[in-house]
Amino acid sequence: MECGYDPQIPSQETNSDEYPRDEYCFFYGTLQDLDRLSLVLRTANPPPMRRARVTGYEVKLWGPYPATVDKPRSSVNGMVCGLLSPIQLELLAAYETEEYELRSCLIDILNDDDSVERTIEGVMFMWAGQPEELREGTFDLKQWKKDQEMMELD
């Protein structure tokens, strides 16, 4: 997802016509981390986030990074963030690289007991690369953060 990411230089050109309105966005990987989200959105104060889930998808791994693919009767837990402006969605698209595409989805906002408070329309970045590039596995945000801290020490 952020392979070679430089917050100063967008990794790809995006067209704001692709994202014509503010959207809720579901995150299931590194963007659940508020520090990373703030860096990508170039803001000191990231938008509010809530625990959430999307149904009809599963997570696989592309290297160390998670990627969602369609899978009926499966679900992915993460965070919902919003509302994000078209410009913020462009920044996220640059971060995610061309291996991911923004797709519409239904997002269940979760209560503390994991029951669904309500369902909203939103978007999420899904895998757009070749299926054979993915492997089975799960993404551990805490481990990713530890790995990032270790890399910063090098």
Q: Is residue 147 part of a domain?
A: yes
Report the alpha-carbon distance of residue 101 to residue 113 in Å, rounded. Answer: 31
Cβ atoms of residues 40 and 91 within 8 Å: yes
The CATH number of residue 59's host domain is 3.10.490.10
Backbone phi and psi for residue 122, each to the nearest 5 degrees, phi listed first: -160, -160
Q: What is the pLDDT along the chain (154 residues), one digit of tens a residue?
A: 444 434 443 333 334 445 467 899 999 999 999 999 999 999 998 889 999 999 999 999 999 999 999 999 999 999 999 889 999 999 999 999 999 999 999 999 999 999 999 999 999 999 999 999 999 999 999 998 898 888 887 6
Q: What is the pLDDT of residue 151?
A: 83
Closest by Cα among 70, 77, 67 to 136: 67
Q: What is the pLDDT of residue 149?
A: 85
Q: Is residue 131 part of a domain?
A: yes
Q: Is residue 5 part of a domain?
A: no
Number of folded domains that form the chain: 1
Q: Is residue 95 part of a domain?
A: yes
Structural domain containing residue 90: 19-153
Q: What is the pLDDT of residue 81?
A: 94
Cβ atoms of residues 130 and 50 within 8 Å: no
Q: Is residue 107 part of a domain?
A: yes
Q: What is the pLDDT of residue 16?
A: 41
